[in-house]
A = this chain, B = another copy of it.
Amino acid sequence: MSRLALFCLALSMLLAPIARAEIKTESIDYKLGNLTMKGYLAYDDAIKTPRPGVLICPEWWGLNDYPKSRAKQLAALGYVAFAGDPYGDGQTATTMADAQKLSAIKSDRTALRARANAALAVLAARPEVDPKKLAAIGYCFGGTMALELARSGADLAAVVSFHGGLDTPNPADAKNIKAKVLVCTGADDTSIPPTMVNSFIDEMKAAKVDYAVEIYGGAVHAFTNPANDGSLSPNIKYNAKADQRSWAAMTELFGEAFGPTAAPAGAH
């Protein structure tokens, strides 16, 4: 048998379990005061050891298909992903007016932090998760939420904001941040102007946070969501390059925070 043939045979035998590996997803209810939150969990159930958990904070649309797709992507990388329900009862919006109403909670940072912390607690308590290895990511409104979660002092190893608002009424709270922070933002995003980016950098500097900011040329707001074709607003548009670059930067940061990629699906 040639070397290559032998290798291919051995490889196919070794990798045979991949066919059985499967991303499991489930809806999980949790309580916050009077609210019943409906979160969404995704993980590769072929992995048998506790592994890093990643909280996903959805866009202002709420927990619709987009954060769910990200949860499945993270699960395929070997993480346990949990998309929190930001509004309760799994409410989602499909018009900007409704999204604006739902996301008005953004002005109450105490409430915002409480919602993120409640979701994080669900994730941390999962048996599949190593509760010492937690991260949070967020998109738009959810990026702001993930950053506020970090500012609340949550035990996070990494936080990533994708096109999230960076301003906060509580810049001094940056001193509570334990996580490595990565901000991914579009250079042409009119809702995240350079002044906001610079203020955020000043905030991180003052608190000596371990942070990085990536600015993508040509990208506007909400650049990671393939559904955004620009019809809602010229400032809400998908940008494939910025999407790929920011996702790569996130996985790189997770590698830095958690060590080599948590077992990719099937490689166990």
- B-binding residues in A (CB < 8 A): 3-4, 6-7, 9-11, 13-14, 181, 187-188, 194, 198, 201, 204-205, 208-218, 241-242, 244-245, 248-249, 252, 256
A17-B4 Cα distance, complex, nearest whole Å? 13
A13: which of B7, B209, B244 is its contact (CB, 8 Å)?
B7
CB closest chain-B residue, reference A194: B198
Q: With A201-B217, A210-B241 in contact, do A3 and B14 touch (Cβ < 8 Å)? A: yes
CB closest chain-B residue, reference A209: B217
Give the residues in chain B near A4, CB-CB below 8 Å.
14
CB closest chain-B residue, reference A253: B245
CB<8 Å pairs between A and B, sample of 7 = A7-B11, A187-B205, A208-B218, A210-B241, A212-B215, A212-B245, A245-B256
Give the residues in chain B near A181, CB-CB below 8 Å.
217
**Residue from A188, A217, A218 whose CB has the most chain B CB atoms within 10 Å:** A217
Give the residues in chain B near A210, CB-CB below 8 Å.
217-218, 241
In the complex, the answer to whether A215 meets B218 with C-beta atoms within 8 Å is: no
A10-B8 Cα distance, complex, nearest whole Å? 8
Nearest chain B CB to A202 CB, angstrom units: 9
In the complex, the answer to whether B241 meets A245 with C-beta atoms within 8 Å is: no
Give the residues in chain B near A204, CB-CB below 8 Å.
187, 217
Nearest chain B CB to A2 CB, angstrom units: 10
